[in-house]
Structure 1
């Protein structure tokens, strides 16, 4: 069985291109031999609700992979990017993948 990978997108950075971003994340997942499960969309307000839901789902599903269109999708939250990446690693032993650097 393929390992699950979940997407995370900040809608305020998607600029109406959510479908294209999800396609790119799904393509990366397939190329890495992972099963793309779902995408969590952070609202324009960026309050971190979707990030918290993502972390809970990783734990529930015993999944350890997250993909973002770019690292910018973790920036702009109230918590710095590095802390969010560390939280994924610490709380869910998750590896972060990016479509573009």
Structure 2
């Protein structure tokens, strides 16, 4: 059975390219031999609800992979971004994959 990978993106950064970005994340998953599960959409900038739901789902499903279109979808600045990546690693032993679109 293929390992699961979950997508995460901020709708405000998608600039009308939601379908294209999700397709790119699915393509990366397929190329890596992973099973793409679903994308968590952060619809309100800075809200964090979708990120919290993603983290909970990773733990529930015992999944360890997340794909984002770019690291900016986690956070625009390096330190907050590194904190979120560390949170995924610590709480769900998750690795972050990046598609540069």
Q: TM-score range by the shorter chain?
A: over 0.9
Distance (whole Å) between structure 2 residues aligned to residue 5 and residue 83 of structure 1: 20
Runs of 4+ in 1 over 2 A off after TM superposition: none
2:99 is equivalent to residue 99 of structure 1: yes
Distance (whole Å) between structure 2 residues aligned to residue 45 and residue 8 of structure 1: 13
Residue aligning to 2:44: 44
Question: Size of the alignment, in residue pairs?
Answer: 100
CA contact (8 A) 2:2 2:35 kept: yes
Structure 1 length-normalised TM: 0.94
CA contact (8 A) 1:9 1:40 kept: yes
Distance (whole Å) between structure 2 residues aligned to residue 52 and residue 73 of structure 1: 14
RMSD: 1.6
Residue aligning to 2:12: 12
- Structure 1: any 5+ residue segments left out of the alignment? none
Structure 2 length-normalised TM: 0.94
Task: State the Cα deviation string for residues 22-74 of structure 1 (Å, max 9, x = none).
Answer: 00000000000000000000013331000000000000000000000000101
